[in-house]
Chain A
Amino acid sequence: MTTILSLSVLGVLVLFLGILKKKSWLLPLILAGLGIALCFTMTEWNTGKYYYHEMILIDHYTVAFSSVMILSTFLIFSFASHYYRPVQRPLDDIYAIMIFALTGAVMMTSFSNLIMLFLGIETLSIALYVLAGSHKEAITSNEATLKYFLLGSFISGFLLFGIALIYGSARSFNLHEISVFIAGHADQLPPMFLAGLFLLIAGLAFKIAIVPFHFWAPDVYEGTPTLLTAFMASVVKTASIAALYRFFSSTFHGIHGVWEPTLATLAVLTIIIGNLSGLYQPSLKRMLAYSSISHSGYMMLAIIAFSGRSANALLFYVLSYSIATIIAFGILILIRESKGNDLFSSMNGLAKTNPFLAFCLTIALLSLTGIPPLAGFMAKYYLFTAAMEQGLLWLVIIAVMGSAISAGFYFKPIMAMYLKPPEGNPLNAGWPYKAHILLMTILLFIFGLMPFLIIGLL
Chain B
Amino acid sequence: MLTLVLIILPLLFSMAAFALKDERRVRLFALVASLAEFGVAVAAFIQYKTGCHCLLLFSANWLESLGVSLKFGMDGISLLMVMLTTFLLPLIILSSFGHSYARPSAFYGLILLMEMALIGVFTSFDGLVFYIFWELALIPAYFICAVWGSHDRIRITFKFFIYTFTGSLFMLVALIWLYFRTPLPHSFDFRALYGLSLSQGEQGWIFLAFFLAFAIKIPVFPFHTWQPDTYTESPGPGSMLLSGIMLKMGLYGLIRWLIPVCGGALDEWGQPAIILSITGIVYASLIAIRQDDLKRFLAYVSIAHVGLIAAGVFILNLKGMEGAVIQMVSHGINIVGLFIIAGYIEARTKTRSIANLGGIASKAPLLAIFFMLILLGSIALPMTNGFIGEFLLLMGLFEYHAVYAAIAGLTIIFSAIYMLWMFQRTMLGKTTGFTSEISDLTLPEILTLIPLVIMIFWIGLYPDFFMKVAGPDIQTILSYLH
Residues of A whose CB lies within 8 Å of any CB of B are 366, 371-373, 377, 381, 384-385, 388-389, 393, 396-397, 400-401, 403-404, 407-408, 411, 415, 418-419, 451-452, 455-456
**B34-71 with Cβ < 8 A to chain A:** 63-66
Identify which of A381, A401, A419, A455 contacts B65 (C-beta below 8 A).
A455
Name 11 A/B residue pairs within 8 A (Cβ), A-sorted: A371-B136, A372-B132, A372-B135, A388-B176, A397-B173, A400-B170, A404-B162, A408-B162, A418-B146, A419-B146, A419-B154
Q: Is the CB of B173 within 8 A of A400?
A: yes
Q: Is the CB of B169 within 8 A of A403?
A: yes
Q: Is the CB of A396 within 8 A of B158?
A: no
Q: Is the CB of A396 within 8 A of B63?
A: no
Q: Is the CB of A385 within 8 A of B176?
A: yes
**A419 with B147, Cβ < 8 A, contacts A385-B66, A388-B177, A407-B161 known:** yes
* Cα A401 to Cα B158 with chains together (Å): 17
Chain A positions within 8 Å of B177 at CB level: 388, 393
Q: Is the CB of A384 within 8 A of B172?
A: yes
Nearest to B165 among chain A residues (CB) is A407
Q: Is the CB of B176 within 8 A of A384?
A: yes
Chain B positions within 8 Å of A389 at CB level: 180
Q: A418 to chain B: closest CB distance in Å?
A: 6
Nearest to A449 among chain B residues (CB) is B62
Q: Is the CB of B136 within 8 A of A373?
A: yes
Q: Is the CB of B147 within 8 A of A418?
A: yes
Whether B166 is near chain A, meaning CB under 8 Å from some CB there, is yes
Q: A457 to chain B: closest CB distance in Å?
A: 12
> Using a Cβ cutoff of 8 Å, how many contacts connect chains A and B?
67
Q: What is the interface of chain B mostly: helix, strand, loop, or mixed? A: helix
Q: Is the CB of B139 within 8 A of A366?
A: yes
* Cα A407 to Cα B161 with chains together (Å): 9
Chain B positions within 8 Å of A408 at CB level: 162
Chain A positions within 8 Å of B166 at CB level: 401, 404
Nearest to A369 among chain B residues (CB) is B165
Q: Is the CB of B169 within 8 A of A400?
A: yes
Chain B positions within 8 Å of A455 at CB level: 63, 65
Q: A440 to chain B: closest CB distance in Å?
A: 19
Q: Is the CB of A377 within 8 A of B161?
A: no
Contact with A along B146-175 (1 / 0, CB 8 A): 110000011000100110011001101100
Q: Is the CB of A371 within 8 A of B135?
A: yes
* Cα A407 to Cα B132 with chains together (Å): 17
Nearest to B134 among chain A residues (CB) is A372
Residues of B whose CB lies within 8 Å of any CB of A are 63-66, 128, 131-132, 135-136, 138-139, 143, 146-147, 153-154, 158, 161-162, 165-166, 169-170, 172-173, 176-177, 179-180
Q: B26 to chain A: closest CB distance in Å?
A: 16
Q: B127 to chain A: closest CB distance in Å?
A: 12
* Cα A388 to Cα B139 with chains together (Å): 27
Nearest to A388 among chain B residues (CB) is B176
Q: Is the CB of B158 within 8 A of A452?
A: no
Q: A382 to chain B: closest CB distance in Å?
A: 8
Q: Is the CB of A419 within 8 A of B172?
A: no
Chain B positions within 8 Å of A403 at CB level: 169
Chain A positions within 8 Å of B154 at CB level: 415, 419
Chain A positions within 8 Å of B143 at CB level: 418
* Cα A388 to Cα B180 with chains together (Å): 8
* Cα A455 to Cα B135 with chains together (Å): 22
* Cα A377 to Cα B139 with chains together (Å): 14
Besides A407-B162, A415-B146, 10 more A-B contacts (Cβ < 8 Å) are A371-B136, A372-B135, A381-B128, A384-B172, A385-B179, A388-B180, A401-B166, A408-B162, A418-B143, A455-B65
Q: Is the CB of A396 within 8 A of B146?
A: no
Chain B positions within 8 Å of A393 at CB level: 173, 177
Q: Is the CB of B63 within 8 A of A377?
A: no
Chain A positions within 8 Å of B161 at CB level: 407, 411
Identify which of A371, A397, A411, A451 contacts B63 (C-beta below 8 A).
A451
* Cα A385 to Cα B158 with chains together (Å): 28
* Cα A340 to Cα B135 with chains together (Å): 36
Shortest 5 CB-CB contacts between residues of A and residues of B: A372-B132, A404-B166, A400-B169, A388-B176, A419-B154
Q: Is the CB of B162 within 8 A of A456?
A: no
| B128, B135, B165, B169: residue with the most chain A Cβ atoms closer than 10 Å | B169
Q: Is the CB of A404 within 8 A of B158?
A: no
* Cα A419 to Cα B103 with chains together (Å): 13
* Cα A412 to Cα B63 with chains together (Å): 33
Identify which of B65, B139, B147 contacts A371 (C-beta below 8 A).
B139
Q: Is the CB of B173 within 8 A of A396?
A: yes
| A381, A388, A396, A451: residue with the most chain B Cβ atoms closer than 10 Å | A381
Nearest to A378 among chain B residues (CB) is B63
* Cα A456 to Cα B170 with chains together (Å): 27
* Cα A388 to Cα B182 with chains together (Å): 14
Chain B positions within 8 Å of A415 at CB level: 146, 154, 158
Q: Is the CB of A384 within 8 A of B146?
A: no
* Cα A372 to Cα B154 with chains together (Å): 23
Chain A positions within 8 Å of B169 at CB level: 400-401, 403-404
Q: A433 to chain B: closest CB distance in Å?
A: 22
Q: Is the CB of B176 within 8 A of A396?
A: yes
Q: A384 to chain B: closest CB distance in Å?
A: 6
Q: Is the CB of A452 within 8 A of B147?
A: no
* Cα A393 to Cα B165 with chains together (Å): 19
Chain B positions within 8 Å of A404 at CB level: 162, 165-166, 169
* Cα A452 to Cα B70 with chains together (Å): 14
| A372, A389, A407, A456: residue with the most chain B Cβ atoms closer than 10 Å | A372
Q: Is the CB of B176 within 8 A of A377?
A: no
Q: B65 to chain A: closest CB distance in Å?
A: 6
**A373 with B132, Cβ < 8 A, contacts A397-B173, A411-B161 known:** yes
Chain B positions within 8 Å of A456 at CB level: 65
Chain B positions within 8 Å of A397 at CB level: 170, 173
Chain B positions within 8 Å of A451 at CB level: 63
Chain A positions within 8 Å of B135 at CB level: 371-372, 377
Q: Is the CB of B147 within 8 A of A372?
A: no
* Cα A83 to Cα B143 with chains together (Å): 32
Nearest to A452 among chain B residues (CB) is B63
Chain B positions within 8 Å of A366 at CB level: 139
Q: Is the CB of A377 within 8 A of B132?
A: yes
Chain B positions within 8 Å of A388 at CB level: 173, 176-177, 180
Q: Is the CB of A384 within 8 A of B63?
A: no
Q: A47 to chain B: closest CB distance in Å?
A: 25
* Cα A408 to Cα B161 with chains together (Å): 9
Q: B7 to chain A: closest CB distance in Å?
A: 13
Q: B192 to chain A: closest CB distance in Å?
A: 16
Chain A positions within 8 Å of B165 at CB level: 404, 407
* Cα A389 to Cα B182 with chains together (Å): 12
* Cα A403 to Cα B158 with chains together (Å): 15
* Cα A377 to Cα B134 with chains together (Å): 13
Nearest to B139 among chain A residues (CB) is A371
Q: B419 to chain A: closest CB distance in Å?
A: 34
Q: A184 to chain B: closest CB distance in Å?
A: 35
Nearest to A419 among chain B residues (CB) is B154
